[in-house]
């Protein structure tokens, strides 16, 4: 059974299933708190054994798309999907009601040249391809909390310029449009002082401390990387994350 010629399928079964379920979650067919079909049902549906289904689900657990409860099922969970992009948590004393988070473009996605002094070393191929970049701020209520610069080599991903982002996320958009997955992340943290231009953007006194995170995401598309530089104002809000093993 299932002797479909494996040589012509680049991906193993479990990756296919993983990708299909992930797409259904990203596109909203399953939302937070929903139960996936049981492992036995999924095995019937995809006509593979439960072990292989379990392998797929386990990958989704690693990526944070689902969690599991014995006797209950697989529970869809949206948060922490963004792989190391830290999320906010209110400081005690700060607004306790969860203000809506708004992402606003300061510079819309466009094609241009790479900076001469870019914060990560880029390849000649990336340099030649030119750079799709944009700049956004994140508002919590009316307060600017985060400033984000994103840079990606223009290696066959022009759709980023026209299409609106899925879930406000480049990563989700690349996944939905090109099936590009994130395979790794390298990031550097640093504390810096607010300078004059930043002080305007954050409405913050010069000299106040900020957190800077520079990230380089690796993707399943060879030689395609996503770079971002993020500045956080942590005066009123912490950056928090949690892991479980």
Give the binding site for DNA (CB under 7 A).
Answer: 1-2, 6-7, 12-15, 36, 38-41, 48-52, 54-55, 68-74
Non-local CB neighbours of 64 within 8 Å, separated by 6+ positions: 77, 79, 80, 81, 83
d(CA 233, CA 1): 57
Name residue, tokens 């549906």.
45
Nearer to a second copy, 102 or 208 (CB): 208
User: 244 is in the binding site of which of DNA, a second copy, none (Cβ under 5 to 8 A by kind)?
Assistant: a second copy
Q: Which of 49, 82, 199, 241 binds a second copy (CB under 8 A)?
A: 241
Among residues 17, 136, 111, the alpha carbon closest in space to that of 66 is found at 17
Nearest 10 degrees: CA dihedral of 165, 91, 75, 62? 70
Nearer to DNA, 41 or 188 (CB): 41
Task: Say whether residue 184 binds a second copy (CB under 8 A).
Answer: yes
DSSP code, position 31: -
Q: Which of 19, 80, 211, 221 binds a second copy (CB under 8 A)?
A: 211
Task: Say whether residue 197 binds a second copy (CB under 8 A).
Answer: no
Q: What number of other Cβ atoms are within 10 A of residue 215's Cβ?
A: 22
User: 221 is in the binding site of which of a second copy, DNA, none (Cβ under 5 to 8 A by kind)?
Assistant: none
Task: Say whether residue 190 binds a second copy (CB under 8 A).
Answer: yes
d(CA 234, CA 218): 27
User: 77-88 burial, b for 16+ CB within 10 Å, e for fewer?
Assistant: bbebbbeebbeb
Q: Which of 20, 23, 40, 183 binds a second copy (CB under 8 A)?
A: 183
Q: What number of other Cβ atoms are within 10 A of residue 161's Cβ?
A: 13
Q: Give the range of 28-36, 102-110, 159-167, 175-183 binding a second copy by CB under 8 A.
A: 175-183
CB of 84 to a second copy, least distance (A): 6
| Residues in touch with a second copy (CB under 8 A) | 62-63, 83-84, 86, 89, 181-193, 207-211, 218, 232, 234, 238-245
């Amino acid at each position: 059974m299932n002797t479909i010629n494996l040589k012509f399928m680049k991906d193993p079964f479990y990756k296919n299933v993983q990708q299909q379920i992930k797409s259904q979650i990203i596109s909203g067919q399953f939302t937070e708190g929903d139960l996936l079909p049981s492992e036995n049902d999924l095995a019937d549906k995809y006509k593979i054994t439960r072990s292989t289904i379990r392998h797929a689900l386990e990958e989704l657990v690693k990526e944070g798309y689902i969690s599991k409860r014995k006797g209950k099922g697989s529970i869809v969970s949206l948060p922490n999907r963004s792989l190391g992009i830290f999320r906010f948590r209110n400081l005690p004393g700060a607004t306790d009601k969860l203000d809506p988070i708004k992402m606003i473009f300061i510079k819309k996605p466009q094609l241009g040249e790479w900076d001469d002094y870019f914060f990560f070393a880029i390849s000649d191929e990336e340099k030649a391809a030119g750079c799709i970049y944009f700049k956004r701020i994140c508002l919590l209520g009316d307060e600017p909390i985060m400033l984000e610069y994103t840079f990606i080599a223009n290696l066959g991903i022009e759709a980023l310029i026209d299409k609106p982002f899925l879930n406000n996320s480049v990563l989700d958009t690349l996944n939905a449009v090109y099936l590009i997955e994130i395979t790794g992340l390298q990031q550097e943290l640093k504390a810096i002082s607010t300078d004059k231009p930043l002080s305007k953007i954050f409405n913050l006194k010069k000299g106040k401390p900020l957190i800077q995170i520079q990230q380089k995401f690796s993707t399943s598309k060879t030689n395609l990387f996503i770079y971002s530089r993020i500045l956080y104002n942590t005066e009123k809000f912490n950056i928090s994350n949690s892991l479980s093993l």
